[in-house]
């Protein structure tokens, strides 16, 4: 009940936060829609068993490693009144969906290269992309072990949490940067010297790149505003209650 939630010390959301979150969602959905429009209008659309298989890659990466990853990071800002365990499960599930969609995108580009006889992993975009993918998987596995798996102690969670938060933000930032590198690479491959002639595709893709950067910056801004974090008292209390429940079972709480 709301009474219990206020007793737990969960403060109401700061006034401006919902507007910033709404703007982030509008930006994120616009980025996904513009990626689809770019691939549909200028790249022939999307299909798995054809030359259009490559187009699965940018769409999946933007949906998974940009939009859904960004939303997963915002879960702890948006769900301020839900229990800590509920927020952690939603946070973890969104990351799973993002990872699965990104995996489809990764398979698509490697399969496309294999069919066409193209070289793999020679560009800066591909190196950064592989780094992002490996770090993302490791971050999820370690995060699951510490925060969702019932074996980690409260003190261990508390010590690891700052690293988890830092690497989450760093991987997201690297994901956005890698998407920008990939967008530029795709434009140069197709347009070549015509890129400098302000071709409509180039202009659209440049606008898409700016929106990608804006979405990334806005998500990081929301994450780093200290007064928009879940109150520390509520965080500590929720985590300690989780730990008590696991170690002692339900017992009357004096705090």
> 78 near 195, Cβ under 8 Å?
no
d(CA 74, CA 93): 13
**What is the per-residue pLDDT across 110-154, written as a single tens digit (0 to 9) for each?**
999 999 999 999 999 999 999 999 999 999 999 999 888 777 778
What pTM did the predictor assign? 0.85
Interval 97-115 mean pLDDT: 97
User: Is pLDDT at 240 greater than 70 in this prediction?
Assistant: no
In a domain, 250, yes or no: no
How many domains does the structure of the chain reveal? 1
183: left (phi over 0), alpha (psi -120 to 50) or beta: alpha
In a domain, 234, yes or no: no
| pLDDT surpasses 90 at 24 | yes
Q: How far is CA 6 from CA 3, 11, 206, in A?
A: 5, 7, 46
CA atoms within 13 A on the CB side of 144: 11
Q: Which residues contact 13 (CB under 8 A, 6 or more apart)?
A: 80
The model's pLDDT over 26-51, given as tens digits with 9 standing for 90+, comes to 999 999 999 999 999 999 999 998 88
- Range 79-97 burial, b when 16+ CB lie within 10 A, else e: bbbbbbeebbebbbebbee
Sign of the C-alpha dihedral, residues 11, 15, 18, 21?
negative
Residue 92 lies in a domain: yes
**CATH classification at residue 71:** 1.20.120.1770
Cα R_g (the chain), whole angstroms: 21
Residues 178-200 have a mean pLDDT of 96
Rounded to an integer, the average pLDDT of 178-196 is: 96
pLDDT at 230: 82
The answer to whether position 23 is within a domain reads: yes
> Is residue 157 very low, low, confident or very high in pLDDT (cuts 50, 70, 90)?
confident
pLDDT tops 50 at residue 252: no
CA distance 54 to 204: 19
Query: Within a domain: residue 2?
Result: no
**Average pLDDT, whole number, for the chain?**
88
Q: How confident is the model at residue 245 (pLDDT cuts 50, 70, 90)?
A: low
- Whether 68 maps to a domain, the answer reads yes
- What's the confidence (pLDDT) of residue 235? 52
Query: What local confidence, expressed as pLDDT, does residue 4 receive?
Result: 39
Segment 218-226 shows an average pLDDT of 96
The reply to whether 242 falls in a domain is no
> In this structure, are residues 97 and 68 in contact, taking their beta carbons and an 8 Å threshold?
yes
Helices (H), the chain: 2-7, 17-42, 56-61, 69-78, 84-116, 124-143, 154-191, 200-224, 232-248
**Alpha-carbon distance values, 223 to 48, 49, 78, 94, 234 (Å):** 36, 40, 11, 17, 17
Look at residue 62 in the predicted model and tell me its pLDDT.
98
Question: What is the percent of the chain with per-residue pLDDT over 70, rounded to a whole number?
Answer: 85
Q: Are 165 and 179 in contact (CB under 8 A)?
A: no
In a domain, 251, yes or no: no
Note down the domain range covering 23: 16-229
């Amino acid at each position: 009940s709301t009474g219990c939630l206020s007793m737990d010390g969960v403060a109401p959301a700061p006034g401006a936060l919902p507007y910033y979150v709404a703007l982030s969602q509008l930006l994120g959905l616009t980025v996904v829609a513009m990626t689809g429009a770019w691939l549909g209008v200028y790249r022939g659309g999307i299909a798995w068993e054809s030359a259009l298989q490559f187009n699965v890659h940018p769409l999946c990466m933007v949906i998974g490693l940009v939009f859904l990853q960004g939303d997963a990071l915002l879960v702890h800002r948006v769900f301020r009144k839900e229990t800590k365990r509920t927020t952690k499960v939603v946070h973890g599930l969104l990351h799973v969906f993002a990872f699965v969609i990104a995996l489809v995108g990764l398979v698509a580009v490697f399969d496309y290269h294999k069919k066409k006889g193209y070289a793999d992993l020679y560009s800066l975009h591909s190196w950064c992309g592989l780094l992002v993918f490996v770090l993302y998987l490791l971050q999820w596995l370690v995060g699951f072990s510490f925060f969702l798996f019932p074996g980690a102690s409260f003190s261990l969670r508390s010590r690891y949490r700052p690293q988890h938060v830092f690497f989450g933000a760093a991987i997201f930032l690297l994901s956005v940067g890698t998407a920008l590198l990939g967008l530029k690479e795709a434009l140069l491959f197709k347009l070549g010297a015509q890129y400098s002639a302000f071709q409509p595709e180039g202009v659209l893709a440049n606008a898409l790149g700016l929106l990608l950067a804006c979405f990334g910056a806005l998500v990081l801004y929301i994450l780093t505003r200290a007064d928009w974090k879940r109150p520390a008292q509520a965080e500590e209390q929720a985590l300690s209650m989780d730990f008590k429940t696991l170690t002692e079972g339900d017992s009357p709480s004096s705090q």
